[in-house]
A and B are shown apart, each in its own frame.
Chain A
Amino acid sequence: MNCTKCPISTKAVIGLPRHNAAFCKACFTTFVHEQVARAIKSQKMFSKDDRILVAVSGGKDSLALWHILLQLGYRADALYVNLGIGDYSARSHEKVQRFAETVGATYGATLLVHVVEQEEGAGIRELSNMLHRPTCSTCGTMKRYQFNRAAVEQEYDVMATGHNLDDEAARLLGNVLHWQEEYLEKQGPTLPASVEGFAKKVKPLYRLSERELAAYSVVNKIDYIVEECPMAKGSKTLLYKEVLNRLETESPGTKQRFYWGFLEKQSRGERAPASMEEKDQRTLHPCQTCGQPTSADICSYCKMMAKAKTATPQ
């Protein structure tokens, strides 16, 4: 497979069926940077003057995000929340620390660290047990709170997270499956600082899939934690992502159409449609041939029968 962008035939390192393209290392890095730049611009996320706080976990998405923002010339520091999940947290903390020293520092970027056990007196597992809440839910609340607090207290203009296309499509699928319409409003890639005490939150990776971000990390030698969080095993997110990836394999572009389509409808302000009666009264009128309701001049039945009459029998 050759790069579809290079004028001379260069070996591709990744094929992207949803874009009908394949890229070599250099073109793929450019592609990823362009997608992020497009997300930042189209969703009015931030400017080169803004101070950005990136939420990092040691995983591929957040480290790739920090890497991309620094490469694109943004002023991006990062915050790591150590959740106290035994060896897993120790290893992810190490990955973040090393990235901050080897990459972040060369751009003058700073790493902030919050250790849950030090501040709350217990790790996330113990807290979940005490609260009788699922670990992922306790973890989500903890991270949202700490990242927001750090961004506000340290006066960052915006907080950026590494949520990717797969994360957003899986979340949308979950919300739609359970008809959690009240959550749909908060599913955009840019959430404003709606009230005092809330930082502006953005998701610059929403145009890129998890596979693309893992590939970006490999191509750019970003050392991230490959192993899955032991607490996430059996989570609904993984199930939704698996289902979406099966659909994506059969029909490339499914995840993109699902989530971006939702965003387009949201930006056009398409709320719940008018009642069926109102809609029908607005769009339907009598067929010129038979008088039955149709949205066209001649209804599909009359068109079909007219065609049948002129067709030659086989």
Chain B
Amino acid sequence: MVVQLSHPHREVEIKGPKRVREMLRDLNLVVEAHLVIRGEELLTEDEVIADADHIEIRPVISGGSLQ
């Protein structure tokens, strides 16, 4: 599967099938800080991603001033 990542923008190839939870763990990414999207659909952690899928892992954390 092709996985699109941000900050910086890049793509990585990962062998599927794989559960979302395992893919995030392999990439050392915290669930609470990311969304996993296939097409326009959000995937839950137990969802299985097929080898042919194109996936976006979108970071959800924004920074800046502490107000």
- CB distance B6 to A235 under 8 Å? no
Contact of B63 among A12, A221, A237, A246 (CB under 8 A): A237
Binding stretch for chain B, among A32-40, A95-103, A115-123, A225-233:
A225-233
Known: A140-B65, A237-B66. A211 touches B45 (CB 8 A): no
Q: Does B13 lie at the interface of the complex (its beta carbon under 8 Å from any beta carbon of A)?
A: no
Which among B9, B34, B46, B60 has the greatest number of chain A C-beta atoms within 10 A? B60
Bound state CA distance, A235 and B32, in angstroms? 19
Query: Closest approach, in angstroms, between the C-beta of A182 and any C-beta of chain B?
Result: 14
Q: Does B40 lie at the interface of the complex (its beta carbon under 8 Å from any beta carbon of A)?
A: yes
Contact of A140 among B41, B44, B67 (CB under 8 A): B67
Query: Closest approach, in angstroms, between the C-beta of A133 and any C-beta of chain B?
Result: 11
Q: Does B3 lie at the interface of the complex (its beta carbon under 8 Å from any beta carbon of A)?
A: no
Q: Does B50 lie at the interface of the complex (its beta carbon under 8 Å from any beta carbon of A)?
A: no
Interface residues on B, range: 20 to 34
- CB distance A166 to B61 under 8 Å? yes
Known: A13-B44, A14-B44. A227 touches B6 (CB 8 A): yes
The B contact surface, by secondary structure, is: loop
| Chain B residues with CB under 8 A of A218 | 35, 37, 40, 42, 58
| Chain A residues with CB under 8 A of B63 | 136, 228-229, 232-233, 235, 237-238, 241
Residue of A nearest to B64 (CB): A232
- CB distance A219 to B31 under 8 Å? no
| Chain B positions 25 through 67: 1 when the CB is less than 8 Å from some CB of chain A, otherwise 0 | 0000011111101001111111100000000001111111111
- CB distance A211 to B32 under 8 Å? yes
List A residues 1-53 near B (Cβ within 8 Å): 1, 12-15, 22
| Chain B residues with CB under 8 A of A280 | none
- CB distance A228 to B62 under 8 Å? yes
Residue of A nearest to B44 (CB): A1
Binding stretch for chain B, among A67-75, A167-175, A259-267, A282-290:
A167-175
Q: Does A113 lie at the interface of the complex (its beta carbon under 8 Å from any beta carbon of B)?
A: no
- CB distance A236 to B66 under 8 Å? yes
Q: Does A214 lie at the interface of the complex (its beta carbon under 8 Å from any beta carbon of B)?
A: yes
Q: Does B10 lie at the interface of the complex (its beta carbon under 8 Å from any beta carbon of A)?
A: no
Q: Does A215 lie at the interface of the complex (its beta carbon under 8 Å from any beta carbon of B)?
A: yes
- CB distance B61 to A215 under 8 Å? no
| Chain B residues with CB under 8 A of A219 | 42
CB<8 Å pairs between A and B, sample of 24:
A1-B44, A1-B45, A14-B42, A15-B45, A15-B46, A136-B63, A136-B65, A139-B65, A140-B65, A171-B66, A210-B61, A211-B32, A211-B34, A221-B40, A226-B6, A228-B7, A228-B62, A228-B63, A232-B63, A241-B33, A245-B61, A246-B30, A248-B32, A249-B32
Q: Which 3 A-B pairs have the closest CB atoms?
A: A140-B65, A238-B63, A232-B63
19 extra A-B contacts, CB within 8 A, seeds A136-B63, A226-B59:
A1-B44, A13-B43, A15-B45, A22-B44, A59-B62, A60-B60, A140-B65, A171-B67, A210-B33, A210-B60, A214-B35, A218-B42, A221-B40, A227-B9, A228-B59, A228-B62, A242-B30, A242-B61, A245-B33
